[in-house]
A and B are shown apart, each in its own frame.
Chain A
């Protein structure tokens, strides 16, 4: 069953980060939370914002702006923490805003072009097209991986 959904029913949770749209596979998304109290964790990677209390569980939060080396901005009412679960790891992603879920047909997803801009393509699984918007589909395993973008650039 689960197989089918991923292959035929490509649904992605969309979020905004520095005026770009990103998408992550809905199967990895557990919940979307408003920003809550985040406790800083010393000695963690620079993009780890800290840990939150998610209904009794302690969940680390990654600041995606920091992860992708984007300019920092104050958190506001729109800011969200998307709780994802990849390979039994539960992690929150701090993003600017998140509101919709999109379905992509196969032909609406393109291969990754070679852009050498702010994002290394390693973290990008594909490019989704929706009307006139371009949506960067993220490979979450790589996003959670240890490789630091700084070092690669």
Chain B
């Protein structure tokens, strides 16, 4: 069967599951007692196993299966949760993530082997079994004597569970379920049976294995070993009630008959991995035809879609209304309809924007794990505080913002936060804090990465910049703190004498800046002895913005409204020239004046009149005045890219199409000063 059509859904869901597993594992690490987390992780592993087996990703299925075994033992209190187990589970998670990433890139799992992990997992199980052997030897004798029509073998592992379960008052059953031979969707039916059973019972084993059942690789029936508090007849009746179930046999297993032998387990497992290997090699050949065909997807709340649908219906109504007007020809109706149309399109825009919005949680979720690993690696204790995860941003931002944030957080941990001893000396708490805060602010979203570390050493930064030839010593002398800090973002700042595994202060900060600016955002730093804060400001949406349309010469340009502070007229006589830079004293501050016609290489020079129209623009706390020839007005514009061919044109952020079909360019104010 061609599974390609499900690949996208599989990947989306797997990612989500892995994310959840990651979170649960992190919580579990801090709270070993919390059984519900083990259950949760088990459930995720189980779901992943089913999903991947259906998709033919046997490595994922195999690994999750082994994880499941361990988790099952944890669940039934057979083994004690230890640091080691959590670490191994984390490793499994990483490997699974690796597989999923491979699948995203190539449609195949790749050659990455997880045998060593399987071994580790088995060791966990075995280690436990060995220690338990003594207590259980008494129970043992004669394994073969599983009688009756049901042939299912009880594996050692299941036996352990069964024995423990029996001690807790559960009954252990073997059962055989036969489906109607004419049943069309056997695996679906089996799924219903499993679901029903899982309400009251625990399924220890099934023959054929669950993966095969999900793949419909079984004849009319299958055999199960279950434990349940219910009695056999009740369970039987429940299953018989499901349609298309032909027959159910159930018999109780006498747990005292079960033997526990550790050696056997090993053999069974080895056979299993070998089998899986064979499967894999088969899979590889059959997978070759698969090609990844992945787009970006957004999961949308159905309410938002309903809203969208409503608006579209209204749009259709308005269309008919406009069509009717044609006959009567009354201007009055026309205006009314157009006004109505305007309202709908605005709402429609809002609705579509909301559909594209995703909580920033999706990016934030991966950070606790990263911080955990980093703090272990560096021997620093760090607590990560995340606030405002529910803040929503555009889907495109979500994809792009992850890397810059990782960079900043690593920076903070590696260079901001001091060693525990140093912190103690300075009277700071030994545990460093990194805060990740997101909140909406007007038409933009602000994300802050804040640490309570040592801050940035301005003198060091200056020294380095001089060394790297970015500034001269004289320049460094007169440079204030703020300008110096901004040197961090200069490319070429970080040829870094010390390149650590994690980051060098400044390594790649220019990349962070470029990336954020490409999204139409800004980065700023504040630093002091008690820590530094990186602030990222991003536009809420990237597609549609409010802009001011202006004339420069005869050409029309759009200036994003969110960067405009005010518009003033300035008498050209008040302009002074300081070092070739025109400035004007405005509200008691010096305002640099930039000529738009020069920046945009417009030939027509009409900017020598007495009264100049100046658009005052702010970037961070810097302001500048841009001289334009004429103001046209405010308008909502749709941002279009200039295309790959004109990538990276100076001073231009993109283009938009005006009502008359003309193209107007959007000025990239941020790059101009």
Contact = CB atoms under 8 A, between A and B. Distances in A.
A58 B645 contact: no
A89 B644 contact: yes
A151 interface: no
A40 B664 CA distance: 9
Interface in A28-56: 37, 39-44, 48, 50-53, 56
B120 interface: no
Nearest to B656: A58
Contact of B652 (A37, A43, A57): A43
Contacts of A56: 657
B652 A144 contact: no
Contacts of A40: 555
B663 A58 contact: yes
B564 interface: no
A57 B649 contact: no
B643 A39 contact: no
Contacts of A89: 643-645
Nearest to B646: A60
B247 interface: no
Interface string A91-113: 10000000000000000000000
Main secondary structure of the interface of A (DSSP, over half): strand
B190 interface: no
A26 interface: no
B502 interface: no
Interface string A53-85: 100111110000000000000000000000000
Contacts of A37: 661-663
B640 interface: yes
B17 to A, nearest CB: 33
Given A53-B657, A53-B661, A57-B640, A39 B646 contact: no
A43 B663 contact: no
Contacts of B555: 39-40
Interface string B643-672: 111100111101101000111110000000
Contacts of B643: 58-60, 89-91
A33 to B, nearest CB: 13
A88 interface: yes
A88 B640 CA distance: 16
A51 B642 contact: yes
Nearest to A86: B645
Contact of B645 (A43, A57, A144): A144
A100 to B, nearest CB: 26
Chain A contact-residue range equals: 20 to 34
A144 B644 CA distance: 11
A39 B655 contact: yes
Contacts of B495: none
A77 B619 CA distance: 46
Contacts of B657: 53, 56, 58
B106 interface: no
A83 to B, nearest CB: 11
B142 interface: no
Given A37-B661, A37-B662, A89-B643, A42 B655 contact: no
B646 A44 contact: yes
Contacts of A59: 643
Nearest to B644: A89
A75 B17 CA distance: 60
A83 B645 CA distance: 13
A84 B586 CA distance: 50
A59 B646 CA distance: 9
Contacts of B601: 42-43
B600 interface: yes
B665 A39 contact: yes
A99 to B, nearest CB: 26
Contacts of B642: 41, 51, 58, 60
A43 B650 contact: yes
Contacts of B649: 41-44
A41 B646 contact: yes
B472 interface: no
Nearest to A144: B645
B600 A51 contact: no
A91 B641 CA distance: 13
A51 B651 contact: no
Interface in B563-618: 599-602
A91 B663 contact: no
A88 B644 contact: yes
Interface string B622-656: 00000000000000000011111110011110110
Contacts of B655: 39, 51, 58
B643 to A, nearest CB: 6
A51 B650 contact: no
A34 B599 CA distance: 31
A59 B642 CA distance: 7
Nearest to B601: A42
Contact of A58 (B600, B602, B641): B641
Contacts of A51: 642, 646, 655, 663, 665
User: Which A-B residue pairs are the 5 nearest by beta carbons?
Assistant: A43-B650, A39-B663, A42-B601, A58-B655, A58-B640
14 contacts: A37-B663, A39-B665, A41-B649, A41-B652, A42-B600, A42-B602, A42-B649, A42-B650, A51-B642, A53-B657, A56-B657, A58-B654, A58-B655, A89-B645
Given A40-B555, A89-B644, A144-B645, 10 more contacts: A37-B662, A41-B649, A42-B600, A44-B649, A51-B663, A59-B643, A60-B642, A89-B643, A90-B643, A90-B645
Interface of A: 37, 39-44, 48, 50-53, 56-60, 88-91, 144
